[in-house]
Amino acid sequence: MSYVTGAHIEWTGSEATPGDYLALLKPRVMSLVVFTALAGLLMAPGPVNPLVGFMSLVLIAVGAGASGALNMWVDSDIDAVMTRTMNRPIPAGKISRAQALAFGLTLSVFSVALLGIVANLAAAALLAFTIFFYVVIYSMWLKRLTPQNIVIGGAAGAFPPMVGYVAASGHVSLASFVLFAIIFLWTPPHFWALALLKSEDYAKAGIPMMPNAKGADRTRLEILLYTLLLVPVAIVPWLIGAASVTYGVIAILAGALMLIAALRVYKLRQGAEADLAAKQLFAFSILYLSLLFAEFIAEHGLGLASGLL
Amino acid sequence: MDQNDSGTSAQGGIVLTPAQLRSRKARSIAIGCAVGALVIFFYALTIIKLGPHALDGGW
């Protein structure tokens, strides 16, 4: 690693491994992005060359990874004081901020430019906007400013299915907006359930997360309100004919369980029971979104949606 | 080459520690794999975009 001493740069060598650079890309977020972008891609009308589809998915994932690296560049100061993030490559001293910035910018330019060549310019522009939104609007600006930060950050996480749809079709549609809305509305209950358990961590880092900025009770209410919005919106793909009856049934049943989990978080406010309810909501929210998109991918991938099974 | 306390050799060059050498080798292999993947990527992309009948119209 290099560091500046006086007027010259002194090189002390680096022990960073490829795994450290991979960690900068937030691989778990990348896998979720691939999953949701695939749903958008498969939902688009008309045939897509499988290789073009695969390349587009890879580039969308790389773009998401690039924004993850740039996010770690921006957030290295707060990552260093939070137990959940203190082992990330920058606070752990394995990769410098400058290296993370260079890595993130290079991958951003590559992924956007190549998506423009592989798919179309509209998809490339939307991917560029997603990276800009996550890094500049969310990470640099609003994350440290407002307790609604997760709501805004959720929009960045909700773009990949739209990028996938545009990559395959060249335009957006109502159904692609609905996929965006599902992830957008899912993000607050998911992250606030975690924030209820980790509020001290966020307070230590000076991040105005809802529980430490507005209190746990307000957080529980907002979790419930967003879940009440999320559950009906998740059924819409079936109602507008973009998904089958099977999807509709799964969305209704899983939505009911999601609502029960949110209600438990709202009602149970003290002690170990409250913590358990928040943990259960956090865990179930992952299963809920995975179920919806897995069903969506399965039926569109197998061409079952046209038969409205 | 002998290494002094500041990690430089007697000739003034940089001497990496064994751990740094190992990680540099791993990074080099990863960069090589990435470049190889890019070659395959661009080849496949060219074939897809030009298509098998790219030269049918003559020069």
pLDDT of residue A26 exceeding 50, the answer is yes
Mean pLDDT to the nearest integer, A168-176: 91
Distance CA A11, CA B13 (A): 11
pLDDT in tens, A250-273: 999 999 999 999 999 999 988 889
Residue B19: give the domain boundaries. 1-51
pLDDT of residue A241 exceeding 50, the answer is yes
Write down the pLDDT at residue A300: 86
Instruction: Measure A286 CA to nearest chain B CA, in Å.
Output: 32
Write down the pLDDT at residue A309: 44
| Residue B5 domain flag | yes
SS (H, E, C) chain B: CCECCCCEECCCCECCCHHHHHHHHHHHHHHHHHHHHHHHHHHHHHHHHHCCCCCCCCC
Q: How confident is the model at residue A240 (pLDDT cuts 50, 70, 90)?
A: very high
Per-residue pLDDT of chain B (59 residues; tens, 9 = 90+): 444 555 555 566 788 899 999 999 999 999 999 999 999 999 999 888 887 666 666 55
Q: How confident is the model at residue A224 (pLDDT cuts 50, 70, 90)?
A: very high
Look at A23-37, A38-52, A111-125, A217-231 and tell me which has the smallest mean pLDDT.
A38-52
| Residue B59 domain flag | no
Write down the pLDDT at residue A206: 82
Task: Tell whether domain A14-172 is in CATH 1.10.760.10.
Answer: no
pLDDT of residue A113 exceeding 80, the answer is yes
Query: Is residue A306 within 8 Å of A45, Cβ to Cβ?
Result: no
Q: Which of A14, A57, A94, A111 to mutate to test the interface with B (most CBs of B within 10 A)?
A: A14
Look at A130-139, A255-264, A299-308, B12-21 and tell me which has the smallest mean pLDDT.
A299-308
Write down the pLDDT at residue A14: 82
Kindly give, in sequence order, each residue whose CB lies less than 8 Å from that of residue A218, ignoring residues fewer than 6 positions away.
Answer: A210
Distance CA A240, CA B41 (A): 37
Q: Does A13 touch chain B (CB under 8 A)?
A: yes
pLDDT of residue A2 exceeding 80, the answer is no
The mean of the pLDDT values for chain A is 90
| Residue B58 domain flag | no
Same fold, A14-172 and A174-309: no
pLDDT of residue A308 exceeding 90, the answer is no
pLDDT of residue A183 exceeding 80, the answer is yes
pLDDT of residue A96 exceeding 90, the answer is yes
Considering the four listed CATH numbers 1.20.120, 3.40.190, 3.30.40, 1.10.3470, the one that applies to the domain covering A174-309 is 1.20.120
| Residue B35 domain flag | yes
**Is B41 in Cβ contact with A52 (below 8 Å)?**
no
Nearest to A15 among B20, B48, B49 (CB): B20
Question: Does the ipTM surpass 0.95?
Answer: no
- Domain count of chain B? 1
Taking the domains of chain A in order of start, what are their residue ranges? Answer: 14-172, 174-309
Q: Which of B23, B38, B49 to mutate to test the interface with A (most CBs of A within 10 A)?
A: B23
